[in-house]
Amino acid sequence: RGRVLGARVARAFARLDPALAAVSPRLCLTASNSQLSTLIAVVDTENFTLAARALGHAQPTVHRAISQIETEAGQQLFERRRNGLVPSRAALRLAQAARLALAELAQAEADLAEIDGREVGQIVVGALPMARSVLLPQAVAEFRLLRPQQPILVVEGLYDDLLAGLRCGDVDLILGALRDPAPIGDVVQTALFNDKLAMLARPGHPLVGAGTLTAQELVGQNWVVPRQGTPSRAQFDAFFAALPGGGPQSVIEAGSILFMRELLARGDFLGCISEAQAVAEISHGTLQRLDVAGHWSNRPIGLTLRADWVPTQAQHLMLDKIVEVAGLLHAQ
69, 101, 133 - which closes a domain? 101
Q: How far apart are CA 237 and CA 232, in angstroms?
A: 9
* pLDDT at residue 231 in the model: 84
Continuous segment of H or E residues that includes residue 175:
strand 173-177
Give the per-residue pLDDT at 202: 96
Packed helices 313-331 and 135-146: angle between N→C axes, nearest 10 degrees: 130
- For residue 94, which of 38, 137, 45 has the smallest C-alpha distance? 38
CATH no. for residue 259? 3.40.190.10
pLDDT tens for each residue of 44-93 = 999 999 999 999 999 999 999 999 999 999 999 999 998 899 999 999 99
Sign of CA dihedral 177, 181, 187, 189: positive
| pLDDT for position 332 | 60
Asked if pLDDT for residue 94 goes beyond 70, the answer is yes
Please name the amino acid found at residue 292: V
pLDDT tier for residue 271 given thresholds of 50, 70 and 90 = very high
pLDDT mean across residues, the chain: 93
- 134 vs 92, more confident: 92
- At 196-225, the pLDDT tens digits run 899 999 999 999 999 999 999 999 999 999
Are 15 and 86 within one domain?
A: yes
Cis bond upstream, residue 87 (ω within 30):
no
pLDDT at 39 over 80: yes
Q: Which domain holds residue 152?
A: 122-193+300-331
Instruction: State the average pLDDT over residues 138-162.
Output: 95
Identify whether residues 8 and 89 lie together within a single domain.
Answer: yes
**Confidence grade of residue 180 (pLDDT, cut at 50, 70, 90):** confident
Residue 56 forms part of a structural domain: yes
